[in-house]
Structure 1
Amino acid sequence: MTGALQADLPIYDERRPELRLRPAKAWRHFQNLLKDKENTEEVFHIFESLPWRNLRSSAERFLRTERGQALRAREPWLPAILDDHEALRRMPEGSLAHAYCDFMEREGLSAQGLVDEFEKFASKHEKFDDQFTWYLNRMRDVHDLLHVLTGYGRDALGEACVLAFTYSQQPSPAHLFIGYMAGLNIRKQTRGTAPVLKAVREGQKLGKACPRLCEQAITELLPLPIDEVRRKLNITPPGHYRKAHAIWQDIGVDPYDLLGKNAKLAA
């Protein structure tokens, strides 16, 4: 690293505890998540129980590059950028920025909202002041951008597919565990011909072609036409996911209420 990029914080605080695989704990929290799909804290517990083994080395590799340090200086806190809809709306029509605002406003979401959910979980843990924290935050804060870029909605199958897509970028076993277990649960509840598991598998495959989004300059992508961003990132349309939605809609099932009051209609 050059003199201009001397670290103001250690890249990794060696006091951090080493996470280990705890599948029984992950299963327990997944069962809780099925009972309350809006309880985001359960998701964080699952990720803690099924950690990405090479996360530290991957983060350090990026943070030791000039590009990594430049991005950290330029985008120190992504939620502030993503939640400034007034600034994002000044970007061109048809841009990723406008598509992101449309999605977040339609769904009643904010980037800070996800941070707040995480803080409920993190408040029970020791905090560490290192550059690794910035990288962890980025991994979390691009989640809704991935929804926008991939075309996966916030329906049960869409969330499962986004997690499978993300696994190919950030290979925590938790992504696949939640993604495929959710897929199996959807298939069990609906008992139809929709290609649920094919959609999840396709999400995993599509994610392999896309560079790691948390390592991209988001401020450079936001003003671009969304189709151009998708081309730059090699993101292609999710065929099986769209087919599943079409099948459910044809038989009068709301894809956004598969496991709610309309689930019985899919039998």
Structure 2
Amino acid sequence: MIETINQSQETAILESFIELVKSPYGDFAAIGKLSHFLNNPATLQKIVDFLSLTSQGKQAFVDRPLLGKIDLQQLHQLPKHTLGYMYAEHMIRNGLTPPPVNEIANDQFTFLGTHITETHDIWHVVTGCNTDKPGEVKLEAFYIAQLASDRLFIALLAKNLLKTAMYEVELCEQIMDGLSQGWIMGKRAKPLFGIEWNRLWETPLKDLQTSLNIS
């Protein structure tokens, strides 16, 4: 069934998209506004249904596991080859703070958004995607391959392509390499959604990548 968008929704989407294009990179308020208009309940249900095709995804929507409190300094004391150390190193090096401790998600849609948001930087580490512009594009393409019909990540990818065309066309080759590599890597990899990462901090990162078919 084809999902239709009425004129008022279309106007809101286009206006929020233009606002995001004009915003600096990493403007989460503008991203949230665009997400609100793009990913309506029907779209979110399609994503939930797709992710529930695997036993891991289906169980995640039952248990709704969240990361809980993260102590970066404690993780940074783990052996350097572990997921926990590499995640802490990524966060500290980029001046990032751990996601806030979230309450139990009361419904599938809330869990979907919370889980994707709070594990974003873990996905950066596990996929090896940098936090520069080509790296973000690479991860966005990976998300699209893993989440199927998530309109937000398609829009974020479109936004970054437009910003590249307008302001940094010299990055075109790096951006397109990142897009193609992220898409292929996301299609080949096992699903990352629903993994309880806080149980894997002491696991060697390379072992995780091998088990998830990420090279």
TM-score (norm. length: structure 2): 0.76
Q: Does 2:67 correspond to 1:78?
A: yes
Task: Indicate the residue corresponding to 2:30 in structure 1.
Answer: 42
Q: Does 2:156 correspond to 1:178?
A: yes
Greater Cα shift, 59-68 or 19-28:
59-68
Cα distance in 2 for partners of 1:198, 1:44 equals 27
Q: Provide, for residues 38-89 of structure 1, a one-character-per-residue CA deviation record: whole Å limited to 9, x for no partner.
A: 42011122222222450343466679988437854xx4x3141xx2224423
The number of residue pairs the alignment matches comes to 201
Task: Indicate the residue corresponding to 1:169 in structure 2.
Answer: 146
Ranges of 4+ aligned residues in structure 1 off by more than 4 Å? 58-67
For 1:49, the aligned partner's letter is: F
For 2:141, the aligned partner's letter is: A
Q: Provide, for residues 117-142 of structure 1, a one-character-per-residue CA deviation record: whole Å limited to 9, x for no partner.
A: xxxxxxxxxxx833553343112211
**1:156 aligned to which of 133, 136, 144:** 133
Q: 5+ unaligned residues in a row in structure 1: which ranges?
A: 1-18, 116-127, 237-267
Cα distance in 2 for partners of 1:114, 1:31 equals 32
- Alpha carbons 1:63, 1:69 under 8 Å: kept: no
1:141-220 → structure 2 map (5 Å cutoff): 141-171=118-148, 172-192=150-170, 194-220=173-199
- Cα 1:59–1:150 change in 2 (3 A) is closer
Q: Does 2:202 correspond to 1:223?
A: yes
Kindly report the root-mean-square deviation, in angstroms, between the aligned alpha carbons of the 2 structures: 3.2
Q: Give the drift of 1:211.
A: 2.8
Percent of aligned pairs sharing the same letter:
20
**1:55 aligned to which of 43, 47, 51:** 47
Rg larger in structure? 1
For 2:143, the aligned partner's letter is: T
For 2:201, the aligned partner's letter is: L
Q: 5+ unaligned residues in a row in structure 2: which ranges?
A: none
